Amino acid sequence: MTDATDEELRSQVRAWIAQDPDPSTRAELTSLLDSGDIAGLRARFAEPLVFGTAGLRGPLGAGPARMNRLVVRRTTAGLATWLAAQHGAGDGSLVVGRDARHGSETFATDTAEVASRQGVTVRALSRPLPTPVTAFAVRHLGAGAGVMVTASHNPATDNGYKVYLSDGAQVLPPVDGAIAEAAAHAARDAVAADRAGEPDGRPSGGRTGAPVETVDEPALLGAYRDAALACLDSSAARELRVVYTPLHGVGGAVVPALFAAAGFAPLATVAEQAAPDPDFPTVAFPNPEEPGALDLAVALARERQADIVLANDPDADRLAVAVPLPDGSWRMLSGNEVGAILGEHLIASTKGDDRLVATTIVSSTLLASLAREAGVAYRETLTGFKWIARAAAAVPGKRLLFGYEEALGYAVTDAVADKDGMTAALVVAELAARAKADGTTLLDRLDAIEARLGVHATAQWSLRLGGDGAAAAMAGVVRRWRSDPPASLAGLGVTRVVDLALGTGTLPATDAVVVEMGKTARVVLRPSGTEPKLKAYLEVRTPPTGDAALAAERARANELLAAVRREVAARCSPD
């Protein structure tokens, strides 16, 4: 719609208003029309939301470039049409879950209503629950697809719509395109037919309405609990003082009971963040990666002399871990560090030639080293758990033992074909309790890995961009790196540049550039698929040195990493 004339744009807006079921978003567009705010209208229509790394996600508001009821209803109409055309993919039903964000209950209700009117049996979760529970439910209930209404760790102004296929993993190409085209077709029909104002609400083609069933949540949560507990050693140590925060999200509805069932003492939950609150009042961003997000949890941990801090993001699919240092301060482990600790544990505690571990192009290469050491298959994927969850599909005879992404996402059981911050929290807690019983720590485990396989120092640089030109600005920076890559970074000569927009033998095309400096360093630059951010992922590697020289090698690697980061930041200013 970018090239539409002003009058064409006004016509599109009027057509949208005629179908929009929400008085507040109708009023928003009407006000912009009446005031002649063409720029405001273009911001809401020029770049419609599309399926990205984790489904549809964006700010709440009117028009196809925002999250609203009409976007949800049209997308659901497309999903229902696509689902009805499938054969042999589950039982054809649709699981619908939601978090506790602004608009989530309404969007979930709209999803259930539209799908059921188009003949799809809906199995709805009656209250806000974590994303991993919805992902688990799709496969556990044998459904044909699932929808989770969530924006995960995004700001309070956002919401989203995540689609799962019958395998319990997130939708991926070309299915997302087929759903989008079916939604566009439903919208065109609505404009042309007598269904204006309800483009997706009436049965067509002879179909009749189907029921909306409420899922037996105690049974579902019991099955999820059993799958999570199966990841643990019931005879292992459990003495551990844990501080937990769901960051104003829905993890508190499940996690404390999981820990109790596993035999841990009651969690000390951060009171100010325990209940769901869509405004996330105690944090600037409800993302445990963001500076300050764990401040309240760490303060409580100091007060309680806790052994560990565990934090979920608002939909509980991510996990942050913080541990105390000898000087009394606390350190949050990076996603790559937790990934290495979990990966080593799961590799060492299992057997079989069918094991495969996977991570993404932007994560550390340490998991690859661990897999190589143990003779376990390894796969590198594009960013996003829709790819990680299916990493074993392209490798005959293999199963996914463990998958992770550096953005605090971990899959420690194949019972959930998505990242699961709750089950991962259980496994991390068990490892911490074992270490405590042995007189060691999780940091000692990490030291042992890097002493054996070399330091893998990682960092991330990001630039948050605002305004409606953010996507174009991010693409422009990546384009510059693609056409004119650096010859060196921090004194390290660039030995290879991989343009992932062209795809590789094992990876589909994506908007990212990989810059390698021999075996010493790597930079991956890409626009975020979930936020208006430009991201660079950095890694510096050193050869194995053993315990004695580990501290010196780590200091050297971090110094070099900081230099690489400075040069990347200098080269990434937008046009």
pLDDT over 80 (residue 557):
yes
> Which residues lie below 8 Å from residue 306, measured CB to CB, with a gap of 6+?
241, 242, 243, 268, 300, 324
For residues 444 and 214, give the distance between their C-alpha atoms in angstroms, rounded to a whole number.
Answer: 47
Query: What CATH code would you report for 52-196?
Result: 3.40.120.10
pLDDT class of 207 with cuts at 50, 70, 90: very low
pLDDT over 80 (residue 340):
yes
CATH topology of 52-196 equal to that of 454-571? no
User: What are the tens digits of pLDDT across the range 458-478?
Assistant: 999 988 877 767 778 888 888
Element holding 527 (H helix, E strand): strand 521-527
Q: Looking at residue 51, what is its pLDDT?
A: 86
Q: Looking at residue 215, what is its pLDDT?
A: 97
pLDDT over 60 (residue 195):
no
Q: Looking at residue 506, what is its pLDDT?
A: 85
166 is catalytic: no
More confident residue, 24 or 189: 24
The predicted model gives 158-167 an average pLDDT of 97
Report the top-level CATH class of 454-571: alpha beta
pLDDT class of 201 with cuts at 50, 70, 90: very low
Of 326-340, 378-392, 413-427, 516-530, the range with the lowest mean pLDDT is: 516-530
Q: Looking at residue 165, what is its pLDDT?
A: 96
For residues 345 and 558, give the distance between their C-alpha atoms in angstroms, rounded to a whole number.
Answer: 25
User: What are the tens digits of pLDDT across the range 74-104?
Assistant: 999 999 999 998 876 778 999 999 999 999 9
Among candidate residues 152, 166, 334, 364, the one labeled active-site is 152
For residues 575 and 573, give the distance between their C-alpha atoms in angstroms, rounded to a whole number.
Answer: 7
User: Residue 245: beta bridge partners?
Assistant: 311
Q: Looking at residue 208, what is its pLDDT?
A: 56
**What tokens appear for 328 in the block?**
């009394």
Residues in the chain: 575
pLDDT class of 55 with cuts at 50, 70, 90: confident
pLDDT over 90 (residue 575):
no
The predicted model gives 227-234 an average pLDDT of 97
Q: How many percent of the chain have pLDDT more than 70? A: 95
pTM: 0.93
Domain ranges of the chain: 52-196, 216-453, 454-571
Sole residue written with tokens 């997308």: 75
Q: Looking at residue 194, what is its pLDDT?
A: 35
Its CATH architecture, for the domain 216-453, is 3-Layer(aba) Sandwich (3.40)
pLDDT over 50 (residue 205):
no
For residues 180 and 183, give the distance between their C-alpha atoms in angstroms, rounded to a whole number.
Answer: 5
User: What are the tens digits of pLDDT across the range 5-30?
Assistant: 999 999 999 999 999 999 999 999 99
Q: Looking at residue 471, what is its pLDDT?
A: 76
pLDDT class of 190 with cuts at 50, 70, 90: low
> Which residues lie below 8 Å from residue 97, measured CB to CB, with a gap of 6+?
108, 124, 125, 129, 131, 133, 134, 137, 146, 147, 148, 149
Q: Looking at residue 3, what is its pLDDT?
A: 67
Cα-flanking dihedrals φ and ψ of residue 99, to 5°? -95, -160
Mean pLDDT, the chain, rounded, equals 93
Q: Looking at residue 196, what is its pLDDT?
A: 41
Element holding 568 (H helix, E strand): helix 550-571
Of 300-314, 371-385, 469-483, 533-547, the range with the lowest mean pLDDT is: 469-483
User: What are the tens digits of pLDDT across the range 164-185?
Assistant: 999 999 999 899 999 999 988 8
More confident residue, 394 or 267: 267
Of 119-128, 207-216, 221-230, 318-327, the range with the lowest mean pLDDT is: 207-216
